[in-house]
Amino acid sequence: MTSAKKKAAETMANIDVVIEVLDARLPEASSNPMIHELRAFRQRPCLKLLNKADLADPEATQAWLEFFNAQPGVKAEAISCKKASDVARIPKLAQALAPHRNDNIKPLRLMIMGIPNVGKSTLINALVKRRVAAVGDEPAVTKSQQRLDLGPRLILIDTPGMLWPKIAHERDGHMLAASHAVGVKAYHEEEVAVYLAGFLLTHYPALLTARYGLVVDGLDAVGALEAIAAKRGCRLKGGAPDMEKAYLILLADYRTGALGRISLETPTLRAAMLADALEGAGQDAKR
Over residues 48-73, the pLDDT tens digits come to 999 999 999 999 999 999 999 999 99
101-105: list long-range contacts, CB under 8 Å, 24+ apart.
Answer: 101/16, 102/153, 103/153, 104/152, 104/153
Q: What are the tens digits of pLDDT across the range 162-192?
A: 777 788 899 999 999 999 988 777 789 999 9
Rounded Cα–Cα distance for residues 71 and 178 (Å): 28
Q: What is the CATH number of the domain that holds 273?
A: 1.10.1580.10
Residue 89 confidence (pLDDT) above 50: yes
**What pLDDT does residue 141 have?**
47
Residue 142 confidence (pLDDT) above 60: no
Residue 245 confidence (pLDDT) above 90: yes
Residue 138 confidence (pLDDT) above 70: no
Give the mean model confidence (pLDDT) for residues 85-107: 89
Residue 139 confidence (pLDDT) above 60: no
**Better-scored residue on pLDDT, 249 or 82:** 249
Kindly state whether residues 131 and 65 are assigned to the same domain.
Answer: yes
Kindly state whether residues 134 and 202 are assigned to the same domain.
Answer: no
Kindly state whether residues 118 and 206 are assigned to the same domain.
Answer: no
Asked whether residue 217 is assigned to any structural domain, the reply reads yes
Domain coverage including residue 213: 188-278
Kindly state whether residues 9 and 148 are assigned to the same domain.
Answer: yes
Give the mean model confidence (pLDDT) for residues 91-106: 87
Q: What is the dihedral of CA 85, 45, 60, 80, to 10 degrees?
A: 20
Of 141, 158, 175, the one marking the end of a domain is 158
Q: What are the tens digits of pLDDT across the range 17-32?
A: 999 999 999 999 999 9
**What pLDDT does residue 208 have?**
98
Asked whether residue 176 is assigned to any structural domain, the reply reads no
Confidence of residue 135 (pLDDT cuts 50, 70, 90): low
Q: pTM score > 0.85 for this model?
A: yes
Please report, rounded to a whole number, the percentage of residues in the chain having pLDDT higher than 70: 93
What DSSP string runs through 92-151?
HHHHTT-TT--SSSS-EEEEEE--TTSSHHHHHHHHHTS--S---SSS----S-EEEE-S
Q: Is residue 94 within 8 Å of residue 110, measured between CB atoms? A: yes
Q: How many domains does the chain have?
A: 2
Asked whether residue 285 is assigned to any structural domain, the reply reads no
Confidence of residue 140 (pLDDT cuts 50, 70, 90): very low
